[in-house]
Each structure stands twice: as C-alpha cells, then as structure tokens.
Structure 1
Amino acid sequence: MESLDLVWVSRANAKQRRGRAGRVMPGVCVHLYTSHRYQYQFSEQPVPEIHRIPLEQLALKIKILPLFHKNNVHEVLEKTIEPPSKSNIDGALSRLQDVGALDKQFELTALGKHLAELPVDVRIGKLILFGAIFCCVDSTLTMAACLSYKNPFVAPFGKKAEADAKRKEFAWAQSDQLTTLKAYRKWQQAMKRSNHAAIIFASENFLSHKTLMMLADIKHQLLGLLASIGFVPDMPDLRKKMRKDSVASLTGTELNSNGENERLLSAILCAALYPNVVKVLTPEKSFHMQAGGAVPRQTLSEELKFKTKADGFVAIHPSSVNSTVGQFASPYLVYQEKVKTSRVFIRECSMVPQLPFVLFSAIELHNGTFTVSLEDGWIMFQVEKHEVAEMLKAIRVELINLLEEKINDPSLNLLHHERGNRIIKAITTIISKD
C-alpha cells in the first residue's frame, strides 16, 4: 500500500542539497534542523528502492531468466547488495498467486509467462491480455493506459467542485475506469473534427489535453506489446509515429466487437484487479411514513461502509465518481490501489457484478456451496444446484487451458479456434445477462 508519510531526509540527501548552493557560485545553505538531529537521528543513506517498491514484476523476470532456472526467487534476491525482507518477497509471490501468474508450487502459469513478457505492472498486463481474448482491445488499452500513466481529469485550484461535477457527467456503470473511458472517447470524437476542437472540449470538461495525447501514444505502445507476444496480429503501421489514436482502426471490428459491453468490461477489470476487492456494507433498511404508508428510505453515501480483508474499513477517495453513491447494483468493488494519508483510501474503483467473481476467481466447492476464495472464503455464494457450480468451475478451467494453448502456440488465433471461440462466447453470454 502506498503511504504518504512525513519523514526526515537522510544525511546523503542533505549533502546533495547543500551542493546545490555552490554549483555556479559561492553560496550558503541553511538547514531547518539541529546539528544534533542531523548527526544522531538521520540515517546515512536513503531507503533502497528495492525495499520500497512492489516486487511482483521483478519476481516474474527472475522466473523466466534461464540463468536462474535452478534457483527460487528468495535465493536470487538474497544475493542482492541490500536484499529485501523475506516478508516482502513472500508478499509479492502471494500477490502473483492471487493474480494467477504463479501456481501453488510457485511455478509460472501460462498467464504468468505472458505477463512476464510485458514490461508493465502485472494487473495492467492481465487487463490488456483479457481485453484481447474477449474482443475489446481498444477499450481495455484505453483503461490500461490511464492506469499505467495517470488520470486525464484535472481539478484546478478553486474549481474543484466544478471539476467534480463535470466528471460525474461522464459517470458510467459506477466505475472510475469506465467513466474515464467514456470521457476519452468523447475527446477522441472531438479530435476527429480538429485538434482545436479537442483542446476546447478538454478545457470545458476539466480534462488535460496533453495527458490525453500521451494516453493515445501509450495505447499504441501497449498494442505493440500485444502484437510482440502474438495476442493480436503484427501490424507494420505500429512502427510509424502516430499523431492520433488509431488503435480501433488498426485492430478492426472483430477485435473490438465487445468494446461497448459494460458488464464484460467490468468483468475484465475484476479479472485484472482481483483480489483487490472491497465489500460494500449497507445499513439495515429503514422506512419513513407517508400518506400512502411506509416507504423505504434511500441510503445516503455517508451511511455506507467499505471493508477489505487485509485492512478492515477503508474509504473511497473523494476524487472517485463512487464517493457520493448511496446504492450500488452489486455489493462488491474492485480497486487499483490503496493510499494511506489521513486514513486508508481506495482509488480508481469499479462496481463489479457477482458473476465475474465466480468466473475470474479461485473457486472451492462444498456440497452445493462454492466459495470465491478471497483469503479463506471471505466472500461466499450459494447456488441451488451443485451442477451449476461445477459448470461454472469447468468454464474457468477451460479458460485457463485456453491460455496454456496460447502460450505454447503464440500464432494461435483464438477467434478462429473452434473450442476457444465457444468458450469466449459462453463466458461473454453468461456475464452479459442480467
């Protein structure tokens, strides 16, 4: 979890800053702390980056390098100059298992081999892979670009309320990611008219035109990565410098046939961000009396509580379109990150229907009850017939096997693969139904 903590600099940081004063001419540097604090309370060097950052991507790289095929991740990282703690390594391996990149024996799965080839965060990698499999390449690449770079919405000083109101005008499916996708598409339509029209649109809707242009460039880079591992056909035009977003036209209608399916897009977000799951806890239903009798009272946003397995109660960040929502269509949200400031906040969250948890999570069956394994059955569902649970589990196994085939044969076209096409269509149909 990212944490914004106020800490003292190290002695090495202080010396480097002192050097700035005499760089081009003699100068004086005044430090706002005592010499005693400097000598006895400051650490000598900053905390090494390997102790501060997530280790998932590094662990994946170690797993695919032939040099380390006889060593496990712990053995390799213990040989670094300042090795990370065992708990940090264990945490990274556990998260890779949650994502589906490692199996129970900590060996690479088919999905893990694909993710190791992509130089992006494992969850973003999973998002674009599933987007290619389920024929919504352009939409998922847009969301992945936003998650890997930054959100294009801006809130100028003194205009935060106006900016929040504009952002909520784009709200879609109780999802920050889909809201940003909708705003990006509107900007793209303006861009087709002229660059000036796009700039005006961005300014009127509190969007950064520069950030949106960067997102378009990142989308092309991500598409190139998908092409390099065989998930989409190779495209010579990708090697050219693009002045506008051409991903949809380059990939064609077939690879984007489900790009408007909001339930499927929410499901793919669930697959990518799992197990970053939050339960929405609502208060007991209350009523107020009217002339026609008792009427259920609408729940207010401040009455809702949000709970994660690891951190207990958290809050939705005020910048989210869900921060003022009083009623969710499903009691589960997935989020990209947690940030600790005055309290623990979740950022970039999306409401997800219940079926995606079943299809994109680890399932355990117990006499007609199947558990979506989120840390020892934290979330549980019950079905009327054991056969239904078995069928859903079988579909998930088929999807995993399909990924295995794809890794063994990168040229395999899943859209024209008879069994693969049936599996993808079946999952899409199940998820799309209300």
Structure 2
Amino acid sequence: MLRLSLQDLVLRVKICKLGDVEQTLLEALDPPSSKNIRRAIDALKEVKALTNGENLTPLGSQLAKLPLDVFLGKLIVHGAFFKCLDASLSIAAILSSKSPFVNTMGSNSQKDLARLSFRRGDSDLLTVYNAYCVWKRIRSTAGGNEYSFCRKSFLNSQTLLNIEDIKMQLVVSIADAGLLKLDASQKATLNRSRYGGRQRQFFTIPEEYDVNSTNDTIVNSVIAWSFYPKLLTREGKGWRNVANNQTVTLHPTSVNKQSDASLKWLSYYHIMQGRNRNYNAFETSAVDDFAIALLCGEVEFKVCLPTLYPGVAYVYIYNDTNFTKMYSGVISIDANRIRFSVRDWKSMLALKVLSARIREILAGTFRDPHKMLSYKQRQWIDIWQQIFTQAAKRNA
C-alpha cells in the first residue's frame, strides 16, 4: 500500500480546486491540526510545489498526480527527465516499503558484511538498489537460486517482491501522467509484469529514459536535487543539517558511517531521534558540491571582479573580528543557507548559465511533459550529460 502524507492531501485539495486548504481539511472526520496544515503548506513552498501565494506550480501539478510523498514524487519526475528512471522508481518503491534486509537473530557482523557487499556510490539508497538489481538478475536467470541468494545476503524475497509491485504501480502512474511514453508492446509487457505472480516477467524501463541509472554521480545528484533541503554538511568529525543547523549523526547501519574526510556533503531521506537523544540520519547519499550549486534551491551567483586590485584574483575584506578572503566568485543558495567560494569567475559564470538553462528546460517539461525539446534545449542537455559523465569517471 502507498500511504499519503498531509503534504499530498494539500496538493490534492489544490488540484481538485476544493477551496481554502485549511478549511477543507478541517472538515475531515479526523482533521489535522491547523499547525500541521501550515507546516505542510510551508514544506510544499520549500520544494517549489506551491508558490508563495499558495498556488500550484507546474511541478506541484505533476506531483499531485503521483501517489507518493512529494520528495519521492520529485525523485521520479527528475529521474524521468535526467534519464535514470529505473533507479529513481526503484528507490522510491524501496522507501515506500520496509527494508528488504532482514533483522533476524544472529551475528550483526555477518549482516553488516552482507549489506556492505552491495555497497555502491557511497549511498545507502544505491546499496539497497544494487541488492534489488542483483535479486532481479538471479530471478531472471535460468537455474538461479533465489532462496539461497536471499538467505546468504540476509534479504527477504517477499519484501523484494512487494517493492517490485509498488514500482509497477508507480510506472503506471507516471505513464498516466505523461512522464513515460509506452507503445502498445511495452504496455502489454507492463500488464504481464503486474499480474504474473511469482512467475512474473520483469518490466524493463525503455532505454531512452534510463541511460544513466548506472551512473552513480548522476543518480546521487538527482537524489539530492529531489530531497533538498534534506542535506548534511561535514562539520569537524560530525555532520550538520543545513536546513536547521542541528548536529546530526549517521545511523550505525549507514555505509557512510565510517566515511573518510573527503566526503563533504550527504543528502538524506529522514532523521529520527535515538534513545541516546542524538538525531540519526537515514538513507544518506554522497553528492558533489558542483551538483548542489547547479540545481539545489534558489541560487545566486555573485562575481567579485578585482577592479580595485588589478592582477589579484581575490581581495580581503574585514568581517566582524577578522579578515575574510573574498574570492572572485561566490555562490549563495537560499539566502546563504549554503555558500561556495569560486576562484575562477569564468567557471562560475559558465555554471550560472548552465544552471539557468537546465532550470528553464525543467520548468517547461513540468508545464507540458508531452512537448518535445527543441534542438538548442537538447544541446544544453548534452552538455550537462558530458559534464556529469566526466565527473563520474573522476569519482570512480
């Protein structure tokens, strides 16, 4: 079963034009509090599903068509656009289900080793996705022993089947929304995969929507863009939540728990307070600062040309009690929630142009998913693809 959050209900009130959100929801048999309704509306504004005037944005209209939490809906919408749809759909289904890794009596070290054997891309989500993909491959291979594999890997085969069922529901939803175009043959294959029971044939996402699911850098970036502002930055030996400046620790089962200092940024899906009163982040994924600057939040690019100091790439300015180095470029996200200093202002201007063009193309796709991209728009997407393909090679 897919569950709806209060945010999803707000979107449905908006898309059905039922009037004032708060008044409509307060008339329910078990109404939420006004405070929680206001929190849901504010959260929808932050993910750009609602305008400041509380009207649906083009993105919000697309999210309202999906039976999902808005962050998972964004993940699927972005996954379709950035051609990593299988990974995005699978991760959304995984997060809508319980973990496929079993929690049985026995050695924790064996379970941890089994889980880490699927480690991928410094990401808890890609790690589970990798285990799911291996399970699918074994089930689809003649002579493959699914039960032996699941037993050795501490995986629950029924949970994996449930994840597959949810994934197929989501495929139908995005096809109905126009985000995925299927021909008659593909639709027939999809129907067989939904109703085939344990002997089902798996449905394969069309290649034109899925050339990047094997690119960990792209998938991790799409996750971060979709979950923003759910973002952690390294602070000393720990982590800080950029949304509220809380100190956060990573859950002990995270593949990033023992990560080295080179890992600076992590997206996450949810945070829970543990028995020790620490806040633990779950479902973390590494993300590059370049990706954050490109498409997270409202971004400002500020060029600080050294006109007063010819030949100098930066100047020093006095700030409170000490001198701060002012680089030739500053990237500010959401009124300085995140700041990056850039030495090369030409590179920053190139990033500014690329960010603006990708955001424009995304907005147009949200307004009309059926509209084909123009030649110039495809060129910008090709540039984006080349940059992130090269980044993936550097990260490998």
Q: TM-score range by the shorter chain?
A: 0.7 to 0.9
Q: Say if 2:269 and 2:282, in contact at 8 Å, map to a contact too.
A: yes
Q: Say if 1:329 and 1:353, in contact at 8 Å, map to a contact too.
A: no
Question: How big is the shift at 1:320?
Answer: 1.4
Q: Which residues in structure 2 correspond to 1:94-133 (within 5 Å)?
A: 94-133=42-81
Q: Say if 1:57 and 1:116, in contact at 8 Å, map to a contact too.
A: yes
**Aligned residue number for residue 424 of structure 1:** 381
Q: Which residues in structure 2 correspond to 1:200-219 (within 5 Å)?
A: 200-219=148-167
**Aligned residue number for residue 285 of structure 2:** 350
Question: Of 305, 330, 333, which aligns to 2:238?
Answer: 305
**Aligned residue number for residue 268 of structure 1:** 222
Q: Say if 2:295 and 2:359, in contact at 8 Å, map to a contact too.
A: no
Q: Does 1:370 align with 2:331?
A: yes
Alignment TM-score, normalising by the size of structure 1:
0.75
Question: Of 304, 324, 340, which aligns to 2:258?
Answer: 324
Structure 2 counterpart of 1:352, one-letter code: V
Supply the distance in 1 between the matched residues of 2:344 and 2:245 (Cα, whole angstroms): 34
Q: Which residues in structure 2 correspond to 1:216-231 (within 5 Å)?
A: 216-231=164-179
Alignment TM-score, normalising by the size of structure 2:
0.81
Q: Which runs of 5+ in 2 are unaligned?
A: 304-328
CA deviation string 1:347-400 (max 9, x = no partner): 111111111111221202334312122xx4232102235554444344334334
CA deviation string 1:57-84 (max 9, x = no partner): 111111111232xx3x334334445654
SS of equivalent residue, structure 1 residue 185: helix
Q: Say if 2:123 and 2:284, in contact at 8 Å, map to a contact too.
A: yes
Question: Of 358, 372, 395, which aligns to 2:354?
Answer: 395
Question: Of 38, 45, 63, which aligns to 2:14?
Answer: 63
SS of equivalent residue, structure 2 residue 146: helix
SS of equivalent residue, structure 1 residue 117: coil
Supply the distance in 1 between the matched residues of 2:130 and 2:378 (Cα, whole angstroms): 28
Question: How big is the shift at 1:305?
Answer: 0.8
**Aligned residue number for residue 360 of structure 1:** 295
SS of equivalent residue, structure 2 residue 100: coil
Q: Does 1:247 align with 2:203?
A: yes
SS of equivalent residue, structure 1 residue 425: helix
Q: Say if 1:184 and 1:212, in contact at 8 Å, map to a contact too.
A: yes
Q: Say if 2:62 and 2:177, in contact at 8 Å, map to a contact too.
A: yes
Supply the distance in 1 between the matched residues of 2:111 and 2:251 (Cα, whole angstroms): 15
Larger Rg: 1
Supply the distance in 2 between the matched residues of 1:381 and 1:216 (Cα, whole angstroms): 40
Q: Does 1:279 align with 2:229?
A: no
**Aligned residue number for residue 299 of structure 1:** none
Is the alpha carbon distance of 1:102 and 1:389 closer, same or farther for their aligned partners in structure 2, counting shifts above 3 Å?
A: farther
Q: Which runs of 5+ in 1 are unaligned?
A: 1-52, 283-303
Q: Say if 2:59 and 2:367, in contact at 8 Å, map to a contact too.
A: no
CA deviation string 1:85-112 (max 9, x = no partner): 4432232222212222123333222111
**Aligned residue number for residue 271 of structure 2:** 338
Q: 170-179 or 212-221, which moves further after superposition? A: 212-221
SS of equivalent residue, structure 1 residue 189: helix
Structure 2 counterpart of 1:169, one-letter code: S
Q: Say if 2:5 and 2:69, in contact at 8 Å, map to a contact too.
A: no
Aligned-pair identity (%): 29
CA deviation string 1:275-311 (max 9, x = no partner): 11111123xxxxxxxxxxxxxxxxxxxxx21111426
Structure 2 counterpart of 1:145, one-letter code: A
